[in-house]
Structure 1
Amino acid sequence: MVIRGTAGHVVDDAQRVDSVRTLREFPEVGLNVIEAAHPGPHVTQDQNLERGPMTFIRRFDHVGITVADLDAATAFFVSLGLEADRKMAVEGAFLDTVIGMTDARTEIVMLRPPGGGTTLELSSFTRPDHLPGSPAAPANELGIRNVAFEVHDLRAAVDHAAVNGYGLVGGIGEYEGAWRMAYVRGPEGIIVSLAERIEK
């Protein structure tokens, strides 16, 4: 695998990867590099059974969305308040193996809410060409339909998105006096669910 950052740093899978250095220089993808270079111990089936159900997952790490215009999609989510890491390019044997393609190359940006937490990964492929998605997909189309965020002021967030050309899918709904929620049709048809807790 070859990973290139905007500052020109390169990590190649022919090298021995130092965990601390990799996480410091490539925090967005360092974990993947480390796991590829230092595979964990073999776990037997009996050991898996002892863990019990749903104990393989340690935490919810990120959600990935593939887009054609990485800069425009990044700008949209940054305008809502997410914080973006620097753009990274990923290519090589590791990427090809994981995604099941040959000679692939993608650029990614990781975005996180203020204070940390689950991240959003935006990815745009330079190789191979993108396949068309469903930019006008309705809420009942099969597949991942929305990415959701809690906001401070729903009306202000909706108005801000509208000024930038991103309108509502439907309207602003209220659930049992506890939440207000709206779907915004973001860049490339991504449905972004915005929700505001109603203070009592």
Structure 2
Amino acid sequence: MDTTGARFMPVARRFDHIGITVADLDLVIDFFVALGLELEGRMFVEGEFLDTVCGIPHSRTEIALLKPPGDGTRLELARWVRPDAVPGSPGAMANELGLRNVAFEVDDLRAAVDWAASEGYGLVGGIGEYGGVWKMAYVRGPEGLIVSLAQRIG
């Protein structure tokens, strides 16, 4: 028995993945693959495990796992087959509560922003510079996702 009064605090070992629910899985996969991520796998998940974890009985989802170059934290995209997805706020701004963006470092911010624009994805604001170290822009990607693109400049 612990007599010091200290409580056990779990410690995260690593950042494994971030999950995003989408309606058009192919569209969103294509967007992130074009940004340089690699499709690692794609599968359907259903049954007791999913029902228990997500708290939705008789659920079924199709997921895709993407990884950045050189490994690292994964991006999990999920399309719900059963039940239907519930609409979110595709025009949400950075101050709306909840997950607002997923961020990637790029080699050439201008080229990445120009590519996004050519695909129909515009800037949320503009390209900003922070402390002579970073240039960054928010791009409104597929399904309203905010994708933060940053380039180290210093």
TM-score (normalised: structure 1): 0.73
Q: Tell me the equivalent position of 1:87.
A: 42
Over 2 Å off, 4+ runs: 49-53
Whole-angstrom CA distance in 2 between matches of 1:140 and 1:118: 25
User: Could you tell me which residue of structure 1 aligns to residue 84 of structure 2?
Assistant: 129
Shift in alpha-carbon separation, 1:98–1:166, aligned structure 2, 3 A: same
Match of 2:130 in 1: 175
Which runs of 5 or more residues in structure 1 are unaligned?
Answer: 1-44
SS in 1 for 2:124: coil
Percent identity over paired residues = 68
Question: What letter is aligned with 2:108?
Answer: D
Say which SS state the counterpart of residue 71 (structure 1) adopts. Answer: helix
Larger fraction in helix: 1
Shift in Å, 1:56? 2.5
Note the aligned Cα RMSD (angstroms): 1.6
Tell me what 2:143 maps to: 188
Q: Is the CA contact 2:44–2:60 (under 8 Å) kept in the aligned structure 1? A: yes
Question: 1:15-26 alignment to 2 at 5 Å?
Answer: none
Residues 1:107 and 2:40 aligned together: no
How many residue pairs were aligned? 152
Larger Rg: 1
The 1:51/1:149 distance shift into structure 2, 3 A limit, reads farther
Q: Report Cα offsets for 1:149-177 as digits up to 9, x if no partner.
A: 10000000000011111110000000011
Aligned residue number for residue 27 of structure 1: none
Classify the secondary structure of the residue corresponding to 1:103: coil
Tell me the secondary structure at the aligned position of residue 156 of structure 1. helix
Query: What is the 5 A alignment of 1:19-98?
Result: 46=2, 53=9, 55-98=10-53
Counterpart selection for 2:93 from 138, 147, 151: 138
Tell which has more relative contact order, 1 or 2 (C-alpha 8 A, sep 6+): 2
Q: Which has the higher strand share?
A: 2
For 2:133 and 2:70, the matched residues in 1 are separated by 24
Secondary structure of the equivalent of 1:107? strand
Q: CA deviation at 1:57?
A: 1.0
